[in-house]
Amino acid sequence: ANVIITISDDDAQSILVDPAAVTIAEGNATGATVGVSLGQQPDRDVVVNLAASDMGGATVEPATLTFTPANYATKQNVKIVAPQDNDTANENVQINLTAAGIQSRSVAVTVTDDDTQAVVVSANTLEVNEAGTGTFTVRLAFDPGASVGVSVISADTTVATVNPMVLNFNSANYAAG
């Protein structure tokens, strides 16, 4: 007698990443490399799409990886870099890996910002005639991310005074000067 047996495969395809988390410095062209492979041999080509949750915080290349039944277990390298930005904040970005019919994975990316906030003045010296006025501009080098007050103080108020004494900056006006 012939018996028909159906075998149900209980192995689920998975996207493997190594490492699952990286820390990179802003503006460093070397960035970090992550290896990606599949957990099981597929019966046809599998395309894995890669995208950053915040392109201003980190970028990933290539944008797609193709795995075949022959190369599914071979790690394909992905490069993650953090471009320069105009703030001083560290950032957390996710690199999302997706493929049709497979549970998505992500790589946690911590971006260490390399910028240091600075007050930028239009002139280091200012000549003012007695009883006269003079003007200079003040701005911040980078987006403060919140409201920031900068005090402007005269070293000798019997010789010169300043007005206004506090300059308020935010993300909209920090570079205006």
pTM over 0.85: no
- 80-117 pLDDT, tens digit per residue, is 999 999 899 999 999 999 999 999 999 999 999 999 99
How many whole angstroms from its chain centre is CA 87? Answer: 11
Cα separation, 72 vs 66, in Å, equals 9
Q: 144 and 170 in contact (C-beta within 8 Å)?
A: yes
**Lowest mean pLDDT: which of 8-17, 34-43, 143-152, 154-163?**
8-17
Q: Residue 9's pLDDT is what? A: 67
Q: Residue 82's pLDDT is what? A: 96
How many whole angstroms from its chain centre is CA 32? Answer: 13
Q: Residue 126's pLDDT is what? A: 87
Tokens of 108: 């946690």
Q: 94 and 37 in contact (C-beta within 8 Å)?
A: no
Is the pLDDT assigned to residue 122 strictly greater than 70? yes
Q: Going by DSSP bridges, is the β-strand pair 91-99/102-112 parallel, antiparallel, or unpaired? A: antiparallel
Backbone angles phi, psi at 156, to 5 degrees: -145, 100
Backbone angles phi, psi at 119, to 5 degrees: -90, 125
- 35-73 pLDDT, tens digit per residue, is 999 999 999 999 999 999 999 999 999 999 999 999 999
High-pLDDT (> 90) share of the chain, %: 79
Q: 109 and 83 in contact (C-beta within 8 Å)?
A: no
Q: Sheet of 64-67: strands edge to edge?
A: 21-25, 102-112, 91-99, 46-52, 64-67
